[in-house]
Amino acid sequence: MKIQTILVTTLTLAACGGDGNKASDAATDGSAAWPLPPTLNTQIDRLGRPAINTALNGTRLTGDAKTAQKDAYNALHDPATFATAEVTTGRTVTAEFAANLAIFDVLDRGASITNAGCGNSALYTQPVSATSYNTMASVLADDRLYVDTSKTSCNMYLSLELDVVTGGAIAHTQCGGRAPSHDVIDTSYSLLISGLNGFNSSTLETLHHDGVDAHTDISDTAFPFLGTPH
């Protein structure tokens, strides 16, 4: 009987939380309270499509003014405001991107590329006007990566976006998104500078390059994925 009484008492104590966890017991009996979660401050960075903020926001600015605009862009955390929020007084993200797309559009002038020069950037609209770059600017302002989970192969960056900008003429066979092996800068530059003319029509390999060699010590499947920075 004594053994049974001791066993029952021990089990009862354990079931009631008498396990020596003073922090847990104190929090439940009202003698102490758990600390509140930290209050988040201004978001300092975000990264959907790489290099878009770098290339198209504050492109012609320098110093503190340039930094302030990029910080304003990075602070945006609500996708509903990505396109319409101001990065500087009186200038929305979409308007800022549209104003700077022309700088990239002209970079292939003189190159052996179809329709080289102004007017061949992706989604450029004719006739020439102050709004010719607005459509592409609005696509880029929605700075999120989209993934088609029905696809099992993910070998091309901006795969879904290319499907959209061509109206389905280049149907995506890849899942989209971004993998460590994607050369995101070359793809972005080719699209901004020459639109679809910036890609090999058969292989969709990029025709414009940033001069930085591709990493050879990366993996899309094995942690930690990234190698030594260049």
pLDDT digit string, tens, across residues 127-141: 989 899 999 999 999
This model's pTM is above 0.85: no
Q: In whole angstroms, what is the distance from residue 162 CA to residue 168 CA? A: 8
| DSSP designation for 86 | E
C-alpha distances in angstroms, 165 versus 93, 125, 136, 143, 160? Answer: 20, 12, 8, 15, 9
**What is the mean predicted confidence (pLDDT) over 90-118?**
90
Percent helix, strand, coil in the chain, to 5, is 40, 5, 55
3-class state of residue 11 by DSSP: helix
pLDDT, one tens digit per residue, over 43-68 is: 888 878 988 999 999 999 999 999 99
Per-residue pLDDT band at 230 (split at 50, 70, 90): low
Q: Which residues pair with 199 in a beta bridge?
A: 206
Mean residue pLDDT across the chain: 84
Closest CA to 142 of 209, 88, 193, 93: 93
**What is the mean predicted confidence (pLDDT) over 76-92?**
94
pLDDT, one tens digit per residue, over 143-153 is: 998 899 999 89
**What is the mean predicted confidence (pLDDT) over 90-100?**
96
